[in-house]
Amino acid sequence: MKYILMMNTMKAGQGIPNWAGKDLQAHIAFMMNLNKDLRDSGELVSAEGLSFPDQARLVRAGKNGVPITDGVFPESKEFLAGFWIIDVDTPERAYAIAARASAAPGPGGAPLNMPIEVRPVMSAPPPEMM
Amino acid sequence: MKYILLMSGTKGGVDHYQAWSQKEVQAHMAVLHSINKRLSESGEFVATQGLAELKEAKVVRGEKNGIPVTDGVFPESKEFLLGYWIIDVATAERAYAIAGQISAAPGPGGVPTNMPIEVRRFATFEQSGSK
């Protein structure tokens, strides 16, 4: 079963650019180690970090499908900072991996305990919708 | 440059969608399939997925010793990810144009849904784990 693990943060990067270099290195090393373990176990489909929200755009189709872009976001909105797509046998395994990602170290090495949203990926649209 | 196009909606929106007629759903899906086919042909397609129902969603935090604590309760007003496209395009404008096409997919009565599509570029400053 495929799952997507979504790491959301409030506002731009939650201050990550202001972390000490050592803290940032420890955080990235933790994430790279997690990704390596998932790759070794054959459970990693993909993992990506997203650029900061200042580059994010909201697009709607205008007349004739011309894109209308909007870069203004309320400060309170949660932003997707990155995600993992994993292929695991059980939901419990997906939750265990999410918990490991949640415990990634922040400033001073303390676990961030970030909330990670876990969603099953649909295999395909139901036949009646095709 | 890789971008992810995020299609989000509220619980109310999902309930509304589930009330569409089969013909309307088929017309909507046909347009999305056509967009996917053209992206494949242009070499810009990386991946697309729809996500399963909200009742299966969980929020997980790691507690002591990394034991997962799951929470399935969501406020009614929250926006949820319904699905996404990952594309590899030459410019941001091309990513916006594709998002515009998706936004224009037809809804009830063939009227474009004009759903907002969030466009986010993949970060290149840290590790990329994609196979």
Whole-model pTM: value is 0.80
pLDDT tens track for B82-95 = 899 999 999 999 99
Q: How far is A117 from chain B (nearest CA, A)?
A: 4
Residue of B nearest to A100 (CA): B66
Q: Is residue B88 part of a domain?
A: yes
Nearest to A102 among B4, B61, B130 (CB): B61
Question: Which residues of chain A have a CB within 8 Å of the CB of B7?
Answer: none
- List, in order, residues 6 or more apart from A2 with CB less than 8 Å away: A45, A85, A86, A87, A120, A121, A123, B49
Q: Contact B119/A59, CB-based, under 8 Å?
A: yes
Question: Which residues of chain B have a CB within 8 Å of the CB of A84?
Answer: 129
Q: Is residue B94 part of a domain?
A: yes
Q: Is residue B10 part of a domain?
A: yes
ipTM score here?
A: 0.73
Place of tokens 């969980």: B58
> What is the distance between the alpha carbons of residues A105 and B125, in angstroms, rounded to a whole number?
18
The whole domain housing B75 covers 2-121
pLDDT tens track for A23-54 = 889 988 999 999 999 999 999 999 998 887 77
> Encoding tokens for residue B36?
């996917």
Tally the domains of chain B: 1
- CB contacts < 8 A, A to B, total 181
Pairing type for strands A67-70 and A57-61 reads antiparallel
Question: Which residues of chain A have a CB within 8 Å of the CB of B64?
Answer: none
Pairing type for strands A116-120 and B58-62 reads antiparallel
Nearest to A28 among B50, B70, B127 (CB): B127
Query: What are chain A's domains?
Result: 2-122 (3.30.70.1060)
Q: Is residue B37 part of a domain?
A: yes
Q: Is residue B126 part of a domain?
A: no
- List, in order, residues 6 or more apart from A5 with CB less than 8 Å away: A83, A84, A85, A86, A94, A97, A98, A101, A116, A117, A118, B60
Residue-level pLDDT at B42: 94
B85 CB neighbour count, 10 Å cutoff? 25
The average pLDDT across A16-27 equals 83
Q: Is residue B128 part of a domain?
A: no
CATH number, domain of B41, equals 3.30.70.1060
Q: Contact B104/A65, CB-based, under 8 Å?
A: yes
